[in-house]
Amino acid sequence: MTATHCPYCALQCGITLQGPAGATTLGGRDFETNGGALCRKGFSAAKLLAHPDRITSPMLRQADGSFAAIDWDTALDLVAGKARGIREESGADAVAMFGSGSLTNEKAYQMGKFARLALGTSRIDYNGRFCMSSAAAGTNKAFGLDRGLPFPLADLDKAGMILMLGSNVADTMPPFVRHLQTVRERGGLVVVDPRRSATAKLSAEGAGWHLQPTPATDLQLLLGLAHVVIAESLMDTEYLAERTTGLAELRSSVSAWWPERTAKITGVPADQIRRTARALAAAAREAKNGGHPVYILTGRGIEQHSNGTDTVTAAINLALLLGLPGTLAGGYGTITGQGNGQGGREHGQKCDQLPGYRKIADPEHRAHVAKAWGVDPEMIPGPGIPAVQLLNSLGAEGGPRMLMVHGANPVVSAPDANQIFAALRRLDFLVVADFFLSETAAEAHLVLPVLQWAEEEGTMTNLEGRILRRRAAIDAPGEAKSELWIFSQLAQRLQAPGNFSPNAVEVFEELKLASAGGIADYSGVSWQDVDQGAAIYWPCPEGNAISTEPGARNGTPRLFLDRFAHPDGKAKIIAVYAPNTVPAKQISLVTGRLLEHYQSGAQTRRVDELAAAAPEAALEIHPSTALAHGISDGQMVQVSNQRGTTIARAKLTADMRLDTVFLPFHYPRDGTANLLTSPSVDPFSSMPEFKHAHVSLNPIEGES
């Protein structure tokens, strides 16, 4: 029996595996985030290990568009030859890489190193840009450090009040709900969401409440809450004086957002705004006097906007006004989505970062990493361009001519998907490493078969910054190989400087050296200690004494208790501003996940029971809105805007606002929600505007 972790979300629930592929039994184990519980996706994950769709050998596209199996030497020689030839003709930046928040820490690290040393390119980014980038930008600006939850998830078990904005954990990571049980019983769970989601319903069931704003007005709502806290003198003045800077400008920026004005913009009644602000302040005061802690948590619903960083900043400002971050009385956190969304953004996949959260443009940071790599700092390219810009530049004049994709499916997951199709088809050579023929892999010139989670060794970092062991439980099928092996083989062919080991332990040891002294410092983490189950949270500098005793927490489980990560040790309150215009009366599309599926659905749509439970895209729409558009329950609907058209089956529900419809983003082809989403990005994080698009609705006659 092998103890490992679920391959899906950032909870990284503990599981056990037993038996060979095809007959593998999977069960939950008593790990802190899940307590033995698993969601439907986790329980069924083993069914993918011997799936008939599995890619087991390299596949090369033929002249007629079909794929034919080839051997690894031929495949790797082809990749290296194409990369070398394109670089010689058009420069190193003509070759690009696109990674993922699902890769292990070791693969994310090695991929960043491979791009910069073996390919010599700055053109690297990853799908975490679509997930955590606004939260990362906001927390870095405010605290000087980005870790999703700067406290153990189990701290929520004791909460007296939680304000949860833009996250539907009841569907997206169901085992999370066990950590909300106590706060629900206390009537302290408050959920902000344009939908009456499963999580919003949990708040009402527990005597909490639900705020249902107009889409894309979360920033205004948060400014309104901050206005009440300041205007009614509910803030923690002692904390603000001792531990923060910037309060004066914040006072000015929120002065115009009195509740009635906020209500006019957001649609949230003024009395609910006052009730929420006063309840948060009262709960925070009680927490400071030995009561139950108070938390403000954000998710993609408020972050995936072109003002996502400002909205995160406004949520942090509210937490700072209440005196919560960096105390045992509560705090602010953001709920990481992808399995290694935290670790994936620490080790060099981002276009502007090096391992340890170091900045690629900082000479000292470059020098440190170059020493760990054994190269001259001048060999490391400068900053690249973020995901949306990178993907849209593919095949364009002066843009990359070759792309390598690892662990991502941008044909379904990227915004304005029609443009992504066009960009991929402009490429001279597209290489996709995957274990299934995803929609992106189907566009490739060459597909490389790689390992699934239960076949590989490595580490992951979950949503609370805890470093975990991923263990191999079964043998890989056919000729599937680890990306570490692929990078090692290609690095040899490209005569890359430095060492590219195919061994996860050796890569982890080098990662520790590269991260030492950085914000995300892993240098004191021992592979053996993680293997034995030690609870280790970064930063964990070299010299830390690690305990494997049950309940022991090592490294830095709770950040900022003594100081924030800015040079003066204080958190920065950063004033943000929002338009005060009433939103236009149009139908707004919001997108999100379902209980049954995960991300682009390339895995979960292949599990029979999950596919049967949610086989197609369903358009959630209020009955009154449906009536106004002549749409019946179960009827097929054409959802359109200037970027594209998607087809979905109407699902009438009073859980929606009259001005809002919802589509899941898990489906391909004409069911792809991201055919409609905007490529507009946040100016600080380059996060796309996933959560708000204006659409028109037209029933398809005769289809029901």
Res 585: pLDDT:
87
Percentage of the chain beyond pLDDT 70 is 100
The whole-number average pLDDT for the span 197-217 is 93
Q: Which amino acid is at 287?
A: A
In CATH, what class is 2-48? Answer: mainly beta
The whole-number average pLDDT for the span 12-41 is 93
Which element (helix H / strand E) includes 265?
helix 259-266
Locate the domains of the chain by residue range: 2-48, 59-130+340-503, 133-338, 587-699
The whole-number average pLDDT for the span 160-179 is 97
Q: Which amino acid is at 260?
A: E
Token output for 210: 């639900």
Res 630: pLDDT:
97
Sign of CA dihedral 68, 71, 72, 78: negative
Distance CA 170, CA 594 (A): 10
Does the domain at 587-699 match CATH 2.40.40.20? Answer given as yes
Residue for token pair 């009680």: 286
Does the bond joining 410 to the residue before it have cis omega, within 30 degrees of 0?
no
User: Per residue, what are the HEC states of 155-169?
Assistant: HHHHCCEEEEECCCH
User: Per residue, what are the HEC states of 321-350?
Assistant: HCCCCCECCEEEEECCCCCCHHHHCCCCCC
Residues 6+ apart with CB under 8 A from 339: 6, 7, 8, 9, 10, 12, 101, 102, 460
Name the pTM for this structure: 0.97
The phi, psi pair for 377, rounded to 5°, reads -55, -30
The whole-number average pLDDT for the span 302-321 is 97
Which residue in 701, 637, 696, 648 sits closest to 672, CA to CA? 648
Residue 71 CB coordination number (10 Å): 11
Token output for 240: 């603000």
What residues does 354 pair with on adjacent strands? Answer: 358
113 burial type by CB count under 10 A (0-12 exposed, 13-18 middle, 19+ buried): buried
Q: What is the mean pLDDT of the chain?
A: 96
What is the per-residue pLDDT across 516-558, written as a single tens digit (0 to 9) for each? 999 999 999 999 999 999 999 999 999 988 999 988 999 999 9
In CATH, what class is 59-130+340-503? Answer: alpha beta
The whole-number average pLDDT for the span 263-273 is 98
| DSSP single-letter state for residue 117 | I
Res 348: pLDDT:
92
Res 581: pLDDT:
87
What is the per-residue pLDDT across 350-363, written as a single tens digit (0 to 9) for each? 999 999 999 999 99
Res 431: pLDDT:
98
Per CATH, 59-130+340-503 and 587-699 having the same topology is answered: no
Res 454: pLDDT:
96
Which element (helix H / strand E) includes 446?
strand 446-449
Indicate if the pLDDT at residue 441 is higher than 80.
yes
Sign of CA dihedral 399, 401, 402, 408: positive
Does the domain at 133-338 match CATH 1.10.3720.10? Answer given as no
pLDDT category at 583 given cuts 50, 70, 90 is: confident
Q: What angle separates helix 72-90 from helix 483-493, to the nearest 10 degrees? A: 60
Indicate if the pLDDT at residue 704 is higher than 60.
no
Res 703: pLDDT:
58
What residues does 645 pair with on adjacent strands? Answer: 640
What is the per-residue pLDDT across 385-410, written as a single tens digit (0 to 9) for each? 999 999 999 999 999 999 999 999 99
DSSP string, 338-403: STTHHHHTTTT-STTEEGGGEETT-HHHHHHHHHHHTS-GGGS------HHHHHHHTTSTTS-SEE
Res 205: pLDDT:
82
Pair 142, 518: CB distance under 8 Å: no
What is the per-residue pLDDT across 490-515, written as a single tens digit (0 to 9) for each? 999 999 999 999 999 999 999 999 99
